[in-house]
Each structure stands twice: as C-alpha cells, then as structure tokens.
Amino acid sequence: MRFPIGFTLTQTRHRARMAKANRKRYPTVLMLEPLYTCNLACLGCSVERHTGKLKDRMTLSTCLKAVDDCEAPIVNICGGEPTLYPELKELVAGLIDRDKYIILCTNALLLDSKLYGVISPSSHLFLMIHLDGTRETHDFVCNRQGVFDKAIEMIHKGKELGYHIYLNTTVYKETKVEEVKALCQLVDELKANGILVAPGYEYESVESDLFLTKEQIHEKFQAIREFSNQYKLNATPMFMEFAAGLRELPCSPWSTVNYTPKGWKAPCYLIEGEGYFENWKDFWHQTDWAYWESRQDHRCQNCKMHSGFEHSAVEESMKTIKDQLQLAAWLLGK
Ligand code: SF4
C-alpha cells in the first residue's frame, strides 16, 4: 500500500463526512507553523520563515486550539524547523490524543538530539525529510555543506528505530531530472516509505533565481512522470499529470490551511500580503475562496503547489471510472 491503511481510511472517512454535511470546501491538512526559527537559511525559503526568534513561538495551547478549530485530520508541523520547538514532545502527544496524523517536516539535522529517543515512533507520526536533490544540489539549496550527508545518516537511523520516513523534494531550476530519479532510487535503497516530488513556489520575498515558470515545470514533470510509477511517489497520478501540464485543475487553497505565529494566513501559505486572521471563523468566512480557486491572481500564475492542487486532483479523479480505478491502483501499489 502507498500509505498506512489508517491514514488512507481517515481521509476517506473525512471526505465522506464532509460530503454528507454538504460541505463543498473543508480543510484536510493543517500546516501548523509553531515557530519561524530555523537552523538553516535555505535559498528557496521565504525570509520570514527562518528568521524568527524562539521567544516569539506559539504556545502549546495556541497550537492545539488551532488544531481543534479547523478540525483537519492531518497536521503538518513545519515552520521554521519544528525540532527546535521546545514543546514538540507535548504537541505530538496532544495530536496523537486527538487521533490526528502528523507529518513533521524537518531538515533532519537535529533528529538524533531532539526526536530520536525523545518521541516514540507511532503509526500516526510521519517524518518528512527535505532533500532537494543529491549532495551537491541539496547542499547548495540549503546554503551549507554536509546537510545531505547528515540527512542520509538520520534516515538510516530513523528507519532502524522504526519511524515512518518520507522524503520531500522541491524541484527548482537547478534540479536535474536525473537527480529526482536518483532520490527515488534512494528511497528504495534506504527503505524509506515514500517521496513527495513537487514544484517550488516563486516567493516574492526570495531574491534567488531558483524558480521555474509554468512551462519549465511542465517540461521537468513530463520527464519525471516517465519513471514516477516505478517508485513510491506520494503525489497522485492526477497531480503528476497536472504538474506536467496534461490536465487543468482549479486550486483548493482551503484544503490545506495555514496557522502561523501571526494567525491564520489567507488565502494559502504561499501568498504574502493578503493578511492574517486571529480567529478561525473570520478567516474561513471572510476569505474570498472563489477568487483564489479561479487562479486569476497574478501570484497564482506559475503555482503548481501540491498543497493547493492535490485535493482538486482527487476530486477530479472521482468523476470518471477510469480515474477512480487509476487512483485505487495507485493507492494499492508500491
Ligand atoms: S494557486 Fe497557489 S498561490 Fe494561488 S491560491 Fe492556490 S496555492 Fe495559493
């Protein structure tokens, strides 16, 4: 199976509950950013996400209130670097008590001191380790030598200890398709659980010329699709078709909501400058979702982010028997 059965069933039940309640829009993933402190300053990361002070982090109770308010079954803990969050152990425990699935997005540098031996492996905890290329590219994007080798060491160790480990690869201009294939092979060699390969987003606050235009994304993903079904990729085949320019989709920014030290961020975690809401209800009811779904904003033009479009890809695949069968085969495969 592509994912642990409980993870897939939780999403299926959530989708069925929302359909029964006649909810067209609803969150499935909360991107929780408890802190904007990081031990790296990667070239593709927005400046505010790695320059925050630890003292400005969210309290544990604020994190858990956001989780309860939005009711998403999956909580993606990111940041900043979440292993630097002093209350991480209590946060993970609070989420598991609530029967949430946790995806902990990390650069892996501090896993041995902050997580292994501190937070036990769980069927509800997935470590998502960023690896944006093979050694040379990843260390270039991370702006530091040795980050790739440390991440590999941590994946080895984490698998020995029994953690679920996935890789997350953002495709930039510098990323070669052969490198993506090498990372997919590495997932098999390391016996990791899977890999998410998705295009990067062109943040206005990032000056580097790292990002791809829509046409460049299509070209890279057409090549990646050719080998993608041989490996444990996390993105659905429908999303991969969209990334390759073979299928059009509306955006579903409400499917992956973002809570930050400044509040609920509208409309999605990528766009700067549209504002933050203190209160969940104001965020949910005052954001003009129809506008953002239409992708007419200039900041949406080159966006093919997994967080915005995977929900749409799954929704779209429910419309034909052929797509439903393809999705089922993909879920049962690898
Ligand atoms: S298209 Fe991208 S940038 Fe625009 S709302 Fe959707 S996720 Fe955000």
CA 244 to chain centre: 19
| β-bridge partners, 77 | 32, 104
Q: What is the pLDDT of residues 197-216, one digit of tens each?
A: 998 876 655 555 667 888 98
**Residue 115 pLDDT > 60:** yes
* Average per-residue pLDDT for the chain: 93
Q: What is the pLDDT of residues 314-331, one digit of tens each?
A: 999 999 999 999 999 999
Distance 7 CA to ligand 1 centre (A): 25
Among 13-17, 59-63, 158-162, 171-175, which stretch is predicted with the lowest mean pLDDT?
A: 171-175
Dist. CA 222–CA 171, nearest whole Å: 13
Mean pLDDT of the 270-275 span: 85
Dist. CA 273–CA 233, nearest whole Å: 33
The percent helix, strand, coil of the chain (3-state, each to 5) is 45, 15, 40
* Segment holding 74, helix H or strand E: strand 74-77
- At residue 207, the pLDDT reads 56
Place of tokens 């995977």: 310
Instruction: Please indicate whether residue 212 or residue 154 has the higher confidence score (pLDDT).
Output: 154
**Residue 48 pLDDT > 90:** no
**Tokens found for residue 90:** 């209590």
Mean pLDDT of the 279-283 span: 97
- At residue 248, the pLDDT reads 94
Domains in the chain: ranges and CATH = 5-332 (3.20.20.70)
Ramachandran bin of 295, using left for φ above 0, alpha for ψ from -120 to 50, beta for the remaining angles: left
Whether residue 250 contacts residue 23, with contact meaning beta carbons closer than 8 Å, is answered with no
Among 97-101, 138-142, 255-259, 293-297, which stretch is predicted with the lowest mean pLDDT?
A: 138-142
Q: Is 289 in the pocket of ligand 1 (CB under 6 A)?
A: no
Dist. CA 98–CA 77, nearest whole Å: 15
- Taking the CA of residue 303 as reference, the ligand 1 atom at the shortest distance is 2
- At residue 206, the pLDDT reads 56
- At residue 55, the pLDDT reads 94
- At residue 212, the pLDDT reads 80
Distance 220 CA to ligand 1 centre (A): 20
Whether residue 107 contacts residue 142, with contact meaning beta carbons closer than 8 Å, is answered with yes
The runs of H, that is alpha helices, within 81-211 are 88-97, 111-114, 135-142, 147-161, 177-190
Q: Is 198 in the pocket of ligand 1 (CB under 6 A)?
A: no
Please, which pLDDT band fits residue 92 given cuts at 50, 70 and 90?
very high
**Residue 296 pLDDT > 70:** yes
**Residue 173 pLDDT > 90:** no
Distance 268 CA to ligand 1 centre (A): 6
Dist. CA 320–CA 233, nearest whole Å: 22
- At residue 121, the pLDDT reads 98
- At residue 204, the pLDDT reads 57
Tell me, yes or no, if the pTM score tops 0.85: yes
Please, which pLDDT band fits residue 241 given cuts at 50, 70 and 90?
very high
Position 23, amino acid: R
Share above pLDDT 90 across residues of the chain, in percent, rounded to a whole number: 81
Site to substitute for ligand 1 among 205, 206, 305, most atoms within 8 A of C-beta: 305
